[in-house]
Every structure is written in structure tokens, then in C-alpha cells.
Amino acid sequence: MMKCSCIARLVGVAMVMFFPFVAHAERGAFDVGRWYDILDNVRTRATSNGISDDTINATLKYPAFIPSIVKSDRNQAEFKLTLDDYLARTVNSRRIKNGREMRATYPTMLSRVEQKYDVQPHVILAFWGLESNYGSYRAAHKLTDAFLTLMYEGRRETFFGNQLLALMKIADDNGLDINDIHGSWAGAMGHFQFIPTTLQQYGADGNGDGKIDIIHSVGDAMFSAGNYLHKLGWNPNERIVRRVMLPGNFDISLLDGKTRRPLPEWAAMGVTNPDGTAIPMADMTAGLVADVNAINAARAAAIASATANTDPNAVDTDVAPQPVIYAYLTYPNFYRIKKWNSSNWYAIAIATLADELKQ
């Protein structure tokens, strides 16, 4: 044990020397002692969890601190796209075309996922398309380095430490080379961008080789995604969202998806199909989601237009004409998607792309 720890420290020194300018303003110069402590702690935890020496040594053989990962973690851009812009970016003609090609390429595997997990092919394809553009996304970082770097950064050391330990266990259990596992700077990997703890819980062998490898096996990736959605309670008999129209004076505080009401109540409040016909009734509750910022901008523009050629004091802004609102009724499957990714925009994009990929 002492011998291995010393080797890890010597290698740690060698790797840190490659990164002499990784200082953080808040911490000062790179803390070599802290780096050593992290490496030793990983070894101790991994050993106590029964992970093999081969995997432990492979993980700690050439540990590297990656400054760009810290920069990415600290400078995550605030989400500012409108819903329409987001959908235009994520559910574009190329992604729809590629999704249809993937459906024609993997009909048997998609059918097997549906038979086992009750998740339809177009739903699996929608997640695949949004998460990795059907596997075309090329992961940039060796995940062991990403996790060690984020552990050193410190804000979520426990979380990323648990991710690294889970990754080591996955590599051990499935005979994978841990240094060949790459992913995003934040630790997501494979066709469906699972983090290691999610993969540990929901990973499934789709190609029957006795291993779970969601990076190199499309079958394993699809089965794992299907298993995850199944465990989240996916209902193949329910749609995800329905685009609807609301009165112009509708209370926009109800449009964040958090308020759920029976469908007849929404209908009584003026929620209709976009053509004005009644929404279908069913024994379920639903929420409503819309781009509130876009609605407020449209309302402001309508008031400005109403006052442009008249005395502003003569216009009652409370009763000025307000534009019709378009929103989405969000059914139970929508909230299951949000357990995968908490963004309302993401869940609507999944629903929209899935509808485009139905046969």
C-alpha cells in the first residue's frame, strides 16, 4: 500500500509539472499537497469498495489536472435562448433526417428495447438525437482526469468523487479500460450522456456480451436508456405534450409547469387546441409551459402599438388588446423526462423531436 501511494505521488508530481499555470485566483498557486491528498483518498476509497488494484493503478497512473475544465465549470453560460430559438436549434431538419436514418439502421434493436421496456422507438431516438446527435458527438476528456480536476476544484468534491468511484467500479465489473473512457468535461458519457452513478443504476446489456459499454455499443446504450425511462415510469400510451392556445389575458404565473390541474379545469380557463377546438379530455392532470419572457415582450409590444398614435394617458393598459398565447400542456411523461433533465425546454424538445420521428 505504501509503495503504491509513493508511486502515485511521484506520478502526481510529474503530471503537475506539466501544468505550471493552473493557479486559481481564489486559491493562489496550485496546491500540490491537496492534489496528493485527493489521489490518496481515491486509492483508499476504491480499495475499501473492493475495486481491483489493476483498475486503481490504471486510474492513478498518469493523473492530469485540466485547467480548461475548471474554466468551463466556473463559466457555464446562463440559459437565455427563447423557446422558439431552442427548438429551432435542437429540432432542426438535419437532426430529424438523421433520426429517421437511425431508425432504418437499427430497427431490430429499437424493437427489442420497446418489447423489453415499453419505450417506443421514436422516444429512444429523440433522446439519442438530443444527447449526442446519434453518437456523432466526440467526447473530449478522459473521464478520470475530468473527475480528479473537478474534485480538486472543490465546489462539488463529494459529488465528483462519487462519480469517479462509480466509474472505477463500472470499468472493473465490465472489463473496460478506464483510460479509454471519455466524456464531457462534466462527466457525461456515451450515446445518451449518462453520468457514472446513473449508469451504475440503470445500465443494461443490450448486445448480450455480458458487459455494459454505453460508449462503444449502441445496443447497450439503447437498452440502458430504455431501462432508465422504464424505471422512471414511462407510459407509452400517453403523449408528452400538446401545443395549445390560451386567452391573451391568461395568468402567466401558471405557465412554469409546476401547477398541475385536471384537464377540464384548464379547458374551463380557456385552454384550447391551436385552432380553437376543445382539448381532448382524459382522467389525468397536466401542467402548462410557455415562454413567459416572450409573452411579456409580446404584451409590451401590443401596448406600445396601441399607444403609438394616441394620447398614452387615454389608453388603459390593463384592458389593451393582448396577443393570443401559445403554450404546451404537459402530461405525466413530460415530468418523467424532467427527471432525466430538469429543463422544461429540453422536455418540450424531446417531445417535438419524438413526434417528428414517429412512423
pLDDT per residue as tens, the chain (359 positions):
434 444 444 444 444 434 433 434 344 588 899 999 999 999 999 999 999 999 999 999 889 998 888 887 777 655 678 999 999 999 999 999 999 999 999 999 999 999 999 999 999 999 999 999 999 987 889 999 999 999 998 888 999 999 999 999 999 999 999 999 999 988 999 999 999 999 999 999 999 999 999 999 999 999 999 999 999 999 999 999 999 999 989 999 999 999 999 999 999 999 999 999 999 999 999 999 999 888 877 777 777 776 766 655 555 555 556 778 899 999 999 999 999 999 999 999 999 999 999 96
DSSP label at 275?
A: T
Q: Are residues 44 and 161 in the same domain?
A: yes
Assigned domain for 247 exists: yes
Q: Are residues 278 and 349 in the same domain?
A: no
- Look up the domain containing 229 and give its range: 82-139+191-238+344-359
State how far the Cα of 230 lies from the Cα of 355, in Å rounded to an integer. Answer: 19
Q: Are residues 213 and 359 in the same domain?
A: yes
| Number of independent structural domains in the chain | 3
Contact criterion met (CB below 8 Å) for 309 and 206: no
Q: Are residues 97 and 228 in the same domain?
A: yes
Q: Are residues 259 and 323 in the same domain?
A: yes
Q: Are residues 106 and 182 in the same domain?
A: no
Assigned domain for 275 exists: yes
Strands (E) in the chain, as ranges, are 141-142, 182-183, 241-246, 261-262, 285-289, 325-330
Assigned domain for 165 exists: yes
State how far the Cα of 271 lies from the Cα of 289, in Å rounded to an integer. Answer: 12
Q: Are residues 199 and 321 in the same domain?
A: no
Q: What is the pTM of this model?
A: 0.87
